Each structure stands twice: as C-alpha cells, then as structure tokens.
Amino acid sequence: MGVTSPALAGTTGVERIAAVFAANRAAGRKALAPFVTAGDPDADATVAVLEAVGRAGASLCELGVPYSDPIADGPVIQASYTRALNAGITLEGVFDIAKRAATAGSMPILAMVSYSIIFRRGIPAFTAEAVAAGLAGLVVPDLPLEESDALDTACRSAGLALVRLVTPTTPPDRAAAIAKKSTGFLYCVSVAGVTGARTELPAGLAERVAWLKTQAHVPVLVGFGISGPEQVRAVAAVADGAIVGSALVRLVAEAAAAGSSRADVLAAVSGRVAELAAACGPRS
C-alpha cells in the first residue's frame, strides 16, 4: 500500500494528511501529489485513476472540480474541464467520485475548486458535503487571504484542510501570512503564470522554499510545471513534496483519444506515477 496506510478512516482530513507526511518522514521520502480532473473522460474512469495512483505510490491527490472559467489552469487542464463539463459532470458527480475513491483506498483526496463554486453552494453545505464525500481538504486557488475567514472557520470545524497558495510574485509579508494560515500543506507555485509542463525549474526556487518552510506550520509542496522524474527529484531535494498535474491529465486524455482500453489507460497512469514516486524516495 505504500506510505498512505496511516490515513485511516474515522479521523479528520487534516489528521489523515498529517499522518501521510509523518509516514513519509519516517520512510525518508517526500510526497507525490498528482492532480486528476473529475469526470474526464467519465466518472468511472476517474475513480479508477484515483485508485491506480494511490496504489502506484502517490501520497495524496488533488481532484480537480471542472469549472468553466479557471484562472490558474493552463490549456491541458482547461481542456479537460471542458470535456468533463460537456460530458455532464456536476458537483454532485464530483462528490460521488471522491466518495467512491475514498471508500476504496486510504490516500487523502483534496478538491481543487474555485471559490465561486463553494460560495454558490454555500460554505456550510459545501464543507458538509465534502466531509461526507471523504475529502480530506480543499485547495482554493482564487480565494484571497482577506476573504477567507468564513471558509477557514468552516474547514477547521469540519476537520478539512484548507490549502493556501503562494506564488513567485507574492510579497514576503503576505507570503508569510498565507503560510501561517495554511492547513494540510502549503502550495508553493513554482512559476508565475498558469499550470503546464515545463522543461526546467526556475532559479531561486530552493531559496524560496527554504524560507517558506520557516514560515509555515505545515509541509511545503511545489507545483506548476513539474512533469518528469528529474524535476520531481529536484523538488524533493528542497521541499516536502511535488504536485504533478498537466502531465498526467494529458496522459489520460491522449490514451482516451487513442481509443485505449481502460486497462491500458490505468497501466499507463500507474507506470508514470510509479516512476515519479520513485523520484521521491523509497517506499515503505
């Protein structure tokens, strides 16, 4: 099962995430956090992919909630959101995917979701549904720090992590305040711009991560532009883990477009995740 086994049912999402990072530290490895779009190409496929990445060595996973106007996602993830929405995915469908995957495995799953979706649903209703679905936390990229108190309070009460993001252009004072408020982990955006695979990591990232680790009370993960084992290995040398999104979303999309069987898609995903996980250190 890898290092995700301490994420036992019956504990809060924050506790499940903390247990995974504790197990990683004990095993001398860093976290791999893939990103998967809910409903692309369909709900059953997403559940199967989530189960596959957990078995292949992912520590935790972000489940993207499709949205018609994403602000931080590059063309690969935007296209996956469009496909999922055109296929009829709904918020209820996303919660159902999360619940099915959470029931089948112990890997913590966090929803990557626009605040407008949460606001429209209502914070109390959304957080209650998230807990019922087995989600461990939320990553809300478009929620400003100054407007986050209501959701922060609701998440803390529900035991959900509320992961905050810091970008290269965030001023130091603001970055420190964001880091101190983040629960679960802190998402360090490696580059200015949108998501998407890139060939190299930016200069100064190691120094920025080292500073953020002095400000945050939670692990620091790096995302945006990370696609291959060498980049994961470089991130793992300085941070507590790496987030890989567009590269896996593209892999699923290309396999589906090529008419590959479900088994072949899952084998491809599992192989890629295992390769990336190996760059994070030994599995327990």
Of 45-54, 70-79, 104-113, 273-282, the least confident: 70-79
Residue 204 lies in a domain: no
- CA-CA distances (angstroms) from residue 25 to 6, 21, 145, 213, 240? 13, 6, 29, 15, 9
Give the residue, 106 or 66, on which the prediction is more confident: 66
User: Is 51 among the catalytic positions?
Assistant: no
Of 1-10, 74-83, 115-124, 231-240, which range is least confident?
1-10
For the segment 125-148, what is each residue's pLDDT rounded down to a tens digit? 999 999 999 999 999 999 999 999
Active site residue 264: no
DSSP symbol at 258 = T
Q: What CATH number is associated with residue 132?
A: 3.20.20.70
Residue 185 belongs to a domain: no
Summarised one tens digit per residue, pLDDT across range 71-105 is 656 788 989 999 999 999 999 999 999 999 998 88
DSSP letter assigned to residue 146? G
Q: Which of 62, 96, 152, 230 is catalytic?
A: 62
> Using alpha carbons only, how large is the chain's radius of gyration in Å?
17
CA dist., res. 243 & res. 225, Å (int)? 9
> Is residue 18 in some structural domain?
no
3 state SS of 32 = strand
The arithmetic mean of pLDDT across residues 108-127, rounded, is 97
The amino acid occupying position 94 is V
CA distances from residue 128 to 118, 120, 137, 149 in whole angstroms, order as listed: 11, 14, 12, 17
What confidence score (pLDDT) does residue 10 get? 56
Between residues 198 and 23, the one the model is more confident about = 23
Nearest to 170 by CA among 237, 109, 216: 216
Q: Does the residue 212 lie in any domain? A: no
Please say if the pLDDT value at position 200 is more than 60: no
pLDDT band for position 204 (50/70/90)?
confident
Does 68 score more than 60 pLDDT?
yes
Distance (Å, rounded) from C-alpha 76 to C-alpha 134? 27
What is the pLDDT at residue 225?
80
Residue 21 placed within a domain: no
The β-bridge partners of 61 are 109
Domain that holds residue 82: 26-161+229-278
Residue 199 has pLDDT above 70, yes or no: no
Q: How many domains does the chain have?
A: 1
79 CB-near residues (< 8 Å, 6+ apart): 253
CA distances from 236 to 113, 121, 247 (A): 25, 37, 18
- On whether residue 174 sits in a domain, the answer given is no
Nearest-angstrom CA–CA distance, 254 and 21: 32
Q: What is the pLDDT of residue 201?
A: 65
pLDDT value of residue 224: 85
**Residue 203 covered by a domain:** no
In this prediction, residues 220-249 reach a mean pLDDT of 92
Identify whether the C-beta of residue 30 lies closer than 8 Å to the C-beta of residue 242. Answer: yes
Does the structure show a pLDDT above 70 at 8? no
Q: Residue 167 domain-assigned? A: no
Tell me the average pLDDT across 168-188: 97
**Half-sphere exposure in the Cβ direction for 74 (13 Å, CA):** 18
Whole-number mean pLDDT of the chain? 90
Instruction: Give how far the C-alpha of residue 48 lies from the chain's centroid of Cα atoms, to the nearest Å.
Output: 17
Catalytic member of 73, 173, 207, 264: 73
Among 70-74, 151-155, 181-185, 249-253, the range scoring the smallest mean pLDDT is 70-74
Above pLDDT 90, what percent of the chain?
Answer: 80
Q: At residue 1, does pLDDT exceed 80?
A: no
- At residue 5, the pLDDT reads 37
Contact 246, 77 (CB under 8 A): yes
Is it the case that residue 24 has pLDDT exceeding 70? yes
